[in-house]
């Protein structure tokens, strides 16, 4: 980040800002200085994950217990903002101002905004920039905080390069014929503009080679000129050749395009093969009625790849959001909601939302018929205790066991374990 400035709060028990090298978090008065310091130490290394981990460690894993917060992380392609609660983050840039708030969101609102030049968070009201002070890193009580983005980090719109002016090829003049049947270029001893000698009377004019490109045809800009040596008897020699010379009215096109003096030889055509004779079909012998196949044909049919017709009305399979591994050995992918219990049943009416039912043994009766529900919501996985008699306990590494609140969703992460009772546990793996 280029610069962070904050307006000091009148007291020390209000909102605080934890500011790192590439991120800042705004925390409410309910967050203790110790928790704010823990957020500051993890901020640059973990982003939203580190912030949520620090807050859930202090306030519990229940979503209702997590306090409001605002998080701004500087990334290569813009600013990533996460806001929970009634806070409002205003981002200003070349495309205008964008406001991100967590009002009415059960978890938090998250958004990536490109080309941001200025970010403002004012939990205590209006921002008085005249009272703002700079800060590089640390935790301070604030009335407002302002982040000015480094202009060097903003992507620059690509400007199309101006094409260089086209340079016409130097005019190439056709070689002029000489008296001995040859030709010389324009720099030779003889003048290239000398017209060629006239052809003998009665000799037909040769046609120029056909053009294959999209350029003007030779008949429009070029004319055939024959050069040959003629003896006193009027006989033409066998080394007669044809060149292409520009017409007098051809214009600039004929002056800027060179043509070969001798037409290129035609490409040899591919040899034409005689048609392959049709194979003789053996006559039907015996009791073959046209529907019977041989053993070899049956084996070939079994070895062929199966073909399936597309079915348009089959809904696409939902992507997996990790999996759960039960102590009983069962592994269930979180492609849809999962209900685990002694005799689980679905309470949803929609076919697209029908959950996966997983039954487990409970000899002592500690597990209810429908004990716990697991479902993915957005980028998170939530578990809900279905108002059970004996409850559900969440085990998270490095923390005390937490009993889930009945009928209240709780967010879980990879490595968390649910204890349902009767020795049955559920472990979460590869969650997003």
Query: Which residue would you say has higher pLDDT here, 180 or 20?
Result: 20
- Which residue range(s) make up the domain with 374? 323-429
Q: Can you tell me the distance from the alpha carbon of 20 to that of 73, in angstroms, rounded to the nearest whole number?
A: 10
Task: Give the CA distances from residue 251 to residues 92, 168, 211, 256, 257, in Å, rounded to whole numbers and listed in that order.
Answer: 60, 14, 19, 10, 11
- Predicted confidence band of residue 308 (pLDDT cuts 50, 70, 90): low
Domain holding 396: CATH number? 2.60.200.20
Q: Residues 338, 332: contact at Cβ < 8 Å?
A: yes
Higher-scoring residue by pLDDT: 20, 50: 20
Please measure the distance between the N-terminal and C-terminal CA atoms of the chain and give it in whole angstroms. 28
pLDDT at residue 268 in the model: 58
Task: Please name the helix (run of DSSP H) or strand (run of DSSP E) that holds residue 222, with its range, or none.
Answer: strand 222-227
Task: Give the pairing type, strands 338-341 and 356-359.
Answer: parallel
CA distance 247 to 259: 13
Closest CA to 25 of 2, 54, 59: 54
Q: Are the CB atoms for 8 and 146 separated by under 8 Å? A: no
Mean of pLDDT over the chain: 74
Work out how many domains the chain is built from and give that number: 2
Query: 76 in a domain, yes or no?
Result: yes
Task: Give the angle subtended at the CA of 344 by the CAs of 343 and 347, to the nearest 5°.
Answer: 140
Q: Which of 85, 90, 84 is nearest to 126 (CA)?
A: 90
Residue 3: both structure tokens together: 């610069």
Residue 406 forms beta bridges with which residues? 385
133, 152, 171 — which closes off a domain? 152
SS3 label, residue 374:
strand
Say which range, 43-47, 156-160, 265-269, has the weakest mean pLDDT.
Answer: 156-160
* Residue 245 CB partners (closer than 8 Å, separation 6+): 174, 196, 222, 223, 224, 225
Nearest by Cα to 181 from 128, 114, 133, 226: 226
Residue 399 CB neighbour total at 10 angstroms? 12
Residue 355 tokens, joined:
């959950």
Q: What single-letter DSSP state applies at residue 406?
A: B
Domain membership flag for residue 182:
no
Quick one: average pLDDT of 391-416? 92
pLDDT of residue 377: 85
Is the confidence at residue 26, as pLDDT, over 90?
A: yes
Q: Single out the residue in 135, 152, 169 at which a domain terminates.
A: 152
pLDDT of 68 strictly over 70: yes
Tokens read off for 385 = 């205790």
pLDDT above 90 (res 383) = yes
301 or 86: which leads in pLDDT: 86
User: What are the contacts of 155-162 at 24+ separation with CB within 8 A?
Assistant: 155/77, 155/114, 155/115
Tell me if 9 is assigned to some domain.
Answer: yes
Is residue 145 within 8 A of residue 217, CB to CB? The reply is no
The answer on pLDDT for 175 being more than 80 is no
Cα–Cα distance for residue pair 250/231, rounded to 1 Å:
34
Phi, psi of 307 (to 5 degrees): -120, 135
pTM: 0.42
pLDDT of 235 over the 60 cut: no
Q: Residue 243 forms beta bridges with which residues? A: 225
Least confident of 90-94, 109-113, 233-237, 331-335: 233-237
Tell which residue, 401, 388, 393, 414, has the closest CA to residue 334.
414
Q: What is the mean pLDDT of residues 245-249?
A: 52
| Residue 52, helix vs strand vs coil | helix
pLDDT at 422 over 50: yes
The pLDDT confidence band at residue 213, using thresholds 50, 70 and 90, is very low
Q: What is the pLDDT of residues 179-207, one digit of tens each?
A: 454 444 444 444 444 455 555 555 555 54
pLDDT tens track for 115-169: 899 999 998 776 788 889 999 999 999 999 999 886 544 433 333 444 445 444 4
416 within some domain = yes
269 belongs to a structural domain: no
Q: How far is CA 184 from CA 7, 188, 191, in A?
A: 89, 6, 9
The pLDDT-based confidence of 416 (bands split at 50, 70, 90) is: very high
Tell me the pLDDT tens digit for each residue of 338-375. 999 999 987 665 555 688 999 999 998 899 999 999 99
Assigned domain for 304 exists: no
Q: What is the mean pLDDT of residues 253-278?
A: 56
Q: Which two tokens mark 174?
A: 């056709």
Q: Please report whether residue 51 resides in a domain.
A: yes
Among 127, 152, 177, residue at a domain's last position: 152
> How are the residues of the chain apportioned to helix, strand and coil, as percentages rounded to the nearest 5?
15, 30, 55
Of how many residues is the chain composed? Answer: 432
Between helix 48-59 and helix 33-46 the angle, nearest 10°, is: 150
Residue 245 inside a domain? The answer is no
Tell me: pLDDT of 174 over 60.
Answer: no
Question: According to the 3-state scheme, what is the secondary structure of 98-147?
Answer: EEEEECCCCCCEEEEECCEEEEEECCCCCCCHHHCEEECCEEEEEEEEEE
């Amino acid at each position: 980040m280029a610069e962070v400035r904050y307006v000091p709060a009148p007291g020390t028990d209000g909102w605080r800002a934890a500011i790192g090298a590439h991120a800042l978090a705004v925390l409410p008065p309910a967050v203790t200085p110790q928790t704010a310091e823990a957020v500051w130490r993890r901020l640059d290394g973990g982003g939203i994950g580190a912030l949520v981990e620090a807050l859930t460690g202090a306030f519990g894993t229940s979503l209702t217990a997590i306090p409001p917060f605002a998080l701004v992380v500087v990334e290569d392609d813009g600013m990533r903002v996460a806001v929970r609660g009634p806070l409002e983050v205003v981002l200003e840039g070349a495309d205008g101002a964008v406001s991100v708030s967590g009002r009415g969101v059960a978890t938090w609102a998250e958004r990536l905004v490109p080309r941001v030049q200025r970010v403002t968070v004012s939990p205590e009201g209006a921002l008085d920039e005249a009272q703002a002070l700079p800060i590089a890193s640390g935790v301070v009580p604030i009335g407002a905080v302002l982040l000015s983005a480094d202009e060097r980090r903003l992507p620059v719109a690509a400007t199309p390069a101006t094409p260089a002016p086209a340079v016409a090829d130097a005019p190439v003049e056709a070689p002029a014929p000489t008296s001995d049947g040859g030709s010389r270029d324009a720099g030779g001893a003889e003048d290239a503009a000398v017209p060629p000698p006239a052809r003998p009377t009665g000799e037909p004019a040769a046609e120029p080679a056909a053009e294959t490109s999209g350029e003007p045809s030779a008949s429009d800009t070029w004319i055939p000129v024959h050069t040959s040596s003629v003896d006193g008897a009027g006989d033409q020699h066998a080394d007669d050749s044809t060149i292409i010379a520009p017409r007098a009215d051809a214009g600039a096109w004929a002056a800027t395009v060179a043509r070969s003096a001798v037409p290129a030889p035609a490409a040899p055509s591919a040899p034409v093969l005689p048609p392959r004779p049709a194979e003789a079909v053996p006559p039907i012998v015996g009791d073959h009625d046209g529907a019977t196949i041989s053993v070899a044909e049956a084996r070939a049919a079994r070895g062929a790849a199966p073909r399936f017709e597309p079915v348009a009305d089959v809904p696409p399979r939902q992507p997996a959001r990790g999996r759960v591994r039960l102590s009983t050995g069962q592994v269930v992918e979180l492609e849809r909601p999962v209900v685990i219990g002694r005799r689980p049943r679905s309470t949803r009416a929609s076919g697209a939302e029908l959950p996966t039912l997983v039954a487990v043994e409970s000899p002592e009766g500690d597990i209810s018929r429908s004990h716990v529900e697991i479902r993915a919501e957005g980028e998170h996985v939530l578990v809900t205790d279905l108002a059970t008699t004996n409850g559900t306990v969440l085990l998270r590494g490095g923390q005390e066991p937490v009993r889930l609140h009945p009928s209240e969703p709780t967010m879980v992460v990879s490595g968390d374990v649910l204890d349902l009772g009767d020795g049955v546990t559920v472990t979460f793996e590869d969650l997003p």
